[in-house]
Amino acid sequence: MTILVTAATGNLGRLVVDSLIARGADPASIVAGARDTAKATDLAGRGVRVAELDYDRPETVAAAVDGVDAVLLISGSEVGRRVDQHKAVIDAAKDAGVSKFVYTSAPKATTSALVLAPEHKATEELIAAAGLPAVILRNNWYTENYAGNVAQASATGVLAASVGDGRVASASRADFADAAAVVLLEDGHTGEVYELGGDVAWTFSDLAAALAELTGRPVEYTALSTEEHAAALEEAGLDSGTIGFVTALDAGIRDGALADTDGTLARLIGRPTTPLLEGLRAIA
């Protein structure tokens, strides 16, 4: 079986390639799609076939998908443009008649009020409309998303956010990458929608405690209102669009958008997910 991994030079994509090979996939059976193929020379050196794949250039997508059996569509990073970009991959996969299509979505994408959910919801609807034999991986937050908080806490001893007592069932990217590799390689997952999260849903007080242990200095969680958070971000020089986006994300966390965890990720990968402190330590 030939597997195409889109965005293969990104943080998640590289880990998926690593996991596929570790789980026994022949490197020659993996196609690494990359906008800039020069960034994939290390993958080519491992025997992986590299193909140009630019979400904004459908002709490159069609060429990369041609002849492959399975496709992993790693969601794009350009918020506001992702639906059209994803559609290029979906259309190419449909035309190529792939036997499995895997997509990295967001938690409860079709019903969530999370600010990032609408583009994922629209993508899932496009996949369904195309009739692709699909597996939807609704990934919770990556622990690596908090890399900036490690540096900030080390410098200031403060973790400030407007998430209230909201919880986040994060896991490390490697955990989610392993899940993608499992469903790509194994039979029996087609048609499933997996809600994936870490084994523990932690609060920002828990995050502050982990940061304190990691940095060796006291770290206090300061719970801000949305208005206080917006004012602090404005004082830090952020533009209004970014401020609105950040505070909307925190509001989603406060309202429980990332709190659910039922062990599905751990069951898929056959091991516990990476604990918060361990994931943060890997970042540092």
pLDDT single digits (tens) 117-163 = 999 999 999 999 999 999 999 999 999 999 988 888 889 999 999 99
**CATH: 3.90.550.10, 3.40.50.720, 3.40.190.10, 2.170.150.20. Which one for 3-139?**
3.40.50.720
Q: What was the pLDDT predicted at 80?
A: 85
This prediction has a pTM of 0.96
The topology (CATH level 3) of 141-170+198-260+274-284 is: UDP-galactose 4-epimerase; domain 1 (3.90.25)
pLDDT (average), residues 204-210: 97
Q: Tens digits of per-residue pLDDT, 23-45? A: 999 999 999 999 999 999 999 99
Asked if the model's pLDDT at residue 79 lies above 90, the reply is no
For the chain, what percent of residues have pLDDT higher than 70?
A: 100
d(CA 10, CA 31): 14
